Chains A and B, each alone.
Chain A
Amino acid sequence: MADLLGFVSAQFLVSVLVYAVIVHVLLAGAGYFTYLERKISAYIQDRVGPNRTGFDLGLPFLGFLKGLWGLGQPLADGIKFMLKEDYTPGKVDKVLFTLAPGIVVIPALIGFAVIPWGGVWDCPSFTIPLLNLHVAGGPVQIAALPVNVGVIYMVAVTSLGVYGITLGGWASNNKYSFLGGLRATAQMLAYELPLGISLLVVLLMVGSLLPMDIIRYQEANGWLLLSQPIAAIIFFIAMLAEANRVPFDNAEAESELVGGYHTEYNSMRFALFFLAEYSHLAVSSAFFVLLFMGGFQLLPFINDPLTATGATGLLAVLAKLGVYFGKVLFMVLVIMLVRWTVPRLRYDQVMSTAWQGLIPLSLVVLIATSVAVFFGLPQGFSHVLLLFGGNLVLFVVLWYVVGRLPAYNPNRKIPLLGSRFYPLPGERVDHAPSDPMAREDRPYEGALPTA
């Protein structure tokens, strides 16, 4: 028996345990993110939000669990989704229609595996009683998949999410779904590039693909949010777009496309799309924290004994987990506040932001960083000062240069008779409208206005 289980090491057991814990936290968290989102939107829009569903399950002897600020709402929603009819409309592609929500949820549940939530734990040796298996102790990572290609894994898995959405939109055989899926695909492809390039900036500074090394680097040289603010902002924006969040939620723009790619879905298959979306939110926030906010380190430049990478005690691991979860929750809150504050972009604005804005900008930051790395960077606090200053200079120069480039304006003002753009500022009103669109719109109003 002990021979068969030869692959079992302390790291393997800890990895499986960490995955089991995190996946439950994530799924429960995804449920409660919907609650949080509804509460936040309610406070912003001066409503109350969910406030009635408790945990009493309708049973009289559990009456003291009634109400509870609506905390039972996610549970009730989950049960309701599960018990609803799982209906497949007539004209859909039945296999792909069922497969799509299953595919979309898998990357969301495996993407976070490489994140080192609690740093390193000095595991003692122990024996598993029934199998009589002795497991040697040693330092183990509190991560589900502690491999040295961590960052590549993360990029690979998170970009898999696009398949489910594309398939779901196509299989529905509904024009709204199709357009939503098409838009989502193009948008996620476009924003994957600035995401990947700003990630490259981080890798270039750190010089390693191992997530723990990224945290160690930030412990020594300050958070990358401070030394690479432009890359951090690009990563954050691209992250929002990858998660199909407002202001980039054109894939499910309700005023244009009903529900987008999940218009035809119902019951748990619909819920899986939402589960994936909210897990994706938490996972990409966790990646942002890993890459730019120092992972489990409490404050930049202050190496407190509990959350330093060198601390390997059980208490340190718990403290790091707490700090990491706190930071992820903070990022999720920021994203939710963005959702209820910023209006949705038009689709052509979404695409031109990516292709004509973020991608060239991230390329410039990449080239500037590679030149800076070539000359060698100082350590410690001067590192942050130098790079922050460099970013600031780069930003000002780009602001100046880009403002003077010839730009194409997609919101061209057409002088339609009677519209609020007529006459245009600086235009003399002594002729009939010259634009053919204006004539087409009102063919009999060629006469001059008397003003």
Chain B
Amino acid sequence: MLLGVTDPVAYLPLAVILMAAIGFSVMNLVLTRILGPNRAGETKALTYESGMEAVGTARKRFNVRFYLIAMVFLVFDVEVVFLYPWAATFANLEVGSDDRLLWLARILFFLFTTIVAFLYGLRKGVFRFD
């Protein structure tokens, strides 16, 4: 086994990495504010909508399909997250053992429930965007 692969000390570089990334983005945002010119103007402050004066705001109600997609995404994404630990261990079980059959059958049932949910959504037209 490689050094520092499993112990929590292996995560230390993450602190450095995060600081560097956040530092980079903050530095860029601050520098461009300092270096550039700064002039205000009434017309300049208008929302750009192809040269027309903007009608109302963009804080409007939007299509409910996006909400549906978000809900369905939650169902599927949680399922995929549950499958990661299974996928990482399933191949390591002994071939032909009872455990292996049990693990396969359980996960196939789990996938079956999702497929039922998917077919229900499909028939209801959740995935149609036209």
By a beta-carbon cutoff of 8 Å, the part of chain A in contact with chain B is 7, 9-12, 15-16, 19-20, 23, 81-87, 89-91, 98, 101-103, 105-106, 109-110, 113, 120, 138-141, 144-148, 151-152, 172-178, 182, 185-186, 189-190, 192-193, 196-197, 200, 203-210, 212, 258, 263-264, 267-269, 271-272, 347-348, 350-352, 355-356, 359-360, 363, 366-367, 370-371, 373-376, 408, 410
Count, chain B residues at interface, CB 8 A: 75
Whether A370 contacts B127 by the Cβ 8 Å rule is no
Set of chain B residues within 8 Å of A197, measured between Cβ atoms? 80
Check: B58 CB closer than 8 A to any chain A CB: yes
Set of chain A residues within 8 Å of B116, measured between Cβ atoms? none
Minimum CB–CB distance for A88 against chain B, Å: 9
With the chains together, A200 CA to B128 CA distance in Å?
26
User: Which residue in A109, A178, A363 is a CB contact (below 8 Å) of B24?
Assistant: A109
Whether A109 contacts B21 by the Cβ 8 Å rule is yes
- A11 with B4, Cβ < 8 A, contacts A85-B37, A145-B13 known: yes
A-B contact pairs, 22 of them (CB 8 A): A11-B3, A12-B9, A15-B13, A82-B35, A83-B35, A83-B36, A89-B45, A89-B46, A109-B24, A110-B21, A146-B2, A186-B70, A189-B73, A192-B73, A192-B77, A196-B77, A204-B87, A210-B5, A258-B48, A366-B111, A367-B111, A370-B107
Minimum CB–CB distance for A451 against chain B, Å: 32
Check: B120 CB closer than 8 A to any chain A CB: no
Whether B3 contacts A348 by the Cβ 8 Å rule is no
Set of chain B residues within 8 Å of A151, measured between Cβ atoms? 84
- A374 with B122, Cβ < 8 A, contacts A197-B80, A264-B47 known: no
- A172 with B76, Cβ < 8 A, contacts A83-B36, A91-B47, A268-B28 known: no
- A268 with B31, Cβ < 8 A, contacts A356-B127, A374-B100 known: yes
With the chains together, A365 CA to B88 CA distance in Å?
17
Minimum CB–CB distance for B51 against chain A, Å: 10
Set of chain B residues within 8 Å of A141, measured between Cβ atoms? 2, 5
With the chains together, A327 CA to B25 CA distance in Å?
28
Whether A86 contacts B36 by the Cβ 8 Å rule is yes
With the chains together, A350 CA to B33 CA distance in Å?
37
By a beta-carbon cutoff of 8 Å, the part of chain B in contact with chain A is 2-6, 9-14, 16-18, 20-22, 24-26, 28-29, 31-33, 35-39, 44-50, 54, 57-60, 62, 66, 69-70, 73, 76-77, 80, 83-84, 87-92, 95-96, 100-101, 104, 107-108, 111, 114-115, 118, 122, 126-130
Whether A175 contacts B58 by the Cβ 8 Å rule is yes
Set of chain B residues within 8 Å of A204, measured between Cβ atoms? 87, 90-91
Whether A90 contacts B46 by the Cβ 8 Å rule is yes
Whether B29 contacts A269 by the Cβ 8 Å rule is yes
Set of chain B residues within 8 Å of A15, measured between Cβ atoms? 13, 16
> Residue on B with the closest CB to A183?
B66
Whether A193 contacts B77 by the Cβ 8 Å rule is yes
Minimum CB–CB distance for B15 against chain A, Å: 10
Whether A85 contacts B45 by the Cβ 8 Å rule is no
Set of chain B residues within 8 Å of A86, measured between Cβ atoms? 32-33, 36, 38
Whether B32 contacts A84 by the Cβ 8 Å rule is yes
With the chains together, A304 CA to B81 CA distance in Å?
37
